[in-house]
Structure 1
């Protein structure tokens, strides 16, 4: 019997479908075809669905993420950041003393009060040179109470708190100095040094860079040499994980797009079938489309060839 060329092409497509998915022949409705193949001595591969412990019970058009080749549990896991190896030499425990006395900026400062404040400041300088730091703090506190609008007094007391390893107290005074005078180089300097003592490397680097632009000195440069490497490591670390998070988000978005596309294709494929009814197919292209749709929607397709 000579078959029509178009029918032969359709048969070839069916055979190709069997090659790509051999488990088709295990379908009960194709038992006659399976028996025929076995009668010819063909080796029938095992049913992959049975080997996997069952069949997919999902409704057509529904996708299980675990069967989605684009799905990865790893992509949905939170990114666990590794620790950054930093040089923490000189970092101290935060001081938690009660806040030091601060002046009242609304007080009207007289000339006599300014002179008295200057006198207390000189006493503090002498105490610092003699290593009497607590006494220096007391003198500077008196000076601040007399002249609470003089930024350098707060900045100087902050520098003494640095020597006493009290970075939080130093930051409080530095903030007060900068509120009075936003261009206080010493205010930025001591705050940067205090933040470095607390391991707040990026903030410390920022303050010290501002201080160096306003009034550079060797002490600022020395502290920056220690602070900058740590700040750079933290910045690089953050950029790395920001990039990883963005990449993960792009992959998630693409996976969702692919899933939505597949679901749309499934719906389109479902509309192409009339379950239990015979559908006429008149070209190899149409046959291929129907077979692909059947595969996506877990439909069994039985081909009938008729001579014309």
Structure 2
């Protein structure tokens, strides 16, 4: 409790940055000294609990905002308008990259027919070993149009990501809605060092996939009206995917393989949600798309080309 309270003060935007380490250190020191030297431990504990409760109340009063000086990659919020089965999505990111930091911003509006939604793929991105991956979902329409959603932090200009800070309401939650030529290609080709990108085609009923897609749409629109915070544990790129499946009766249960996001593909394989006609190690090798992404590069058929050789998803009505 003391450590958590000190951390809340250390990361609190309610204090000037220069005062945060002092406030955190003072809180921890006073609490520790009180337990060491005050004779009435029960009152000391009660006082500590009250002080922590005050911090928690203040912590949850910190408002999220859509009005900050954002990095160019997250400058515009995606949102959708729905007209029957036709869904028009605004602010789809499709940047033209020369390097990760040198690009021409391009935001697009596209309309999708919900009746043509026929596949859902998991995209897992690795950069430092097996345990941790960034995970995205790609929705396919009529086997040719793919829309990827990546749940991330919305960073301000000059702001860097910290896993620890992500526990303490430091970053707004953001849904990157993008063309695969943007969100895949920047990782396979332009980011240095390049990252390993795997695409796994998910099996399951189409009715479930459509419910998940519409839930994503609802969340995008909600964030436009009511900004919210990213949390390293509860609303990260992988746990959020699981939460979006909760309206389906076949939703996967929570697992340590969700928390250690690099093992999510293994978990889906164990549940029979991926192609199980071959060992997972073989499927994993097939699913690495970096070579095909380099070859496809700016080809308008980029999404089709990076899926060449992948097992087709087994979908049901």
TM over 0.5: no
Greater gyration radius:
1
* Alignment TM class, shorter chain as reference: under 0.3
TM-score w.r.t. the length of structure 1 is 0.22
Structure with the bigger percentage of strand: 2
TM-score w.r.t. the length of structure 2 is 0.22
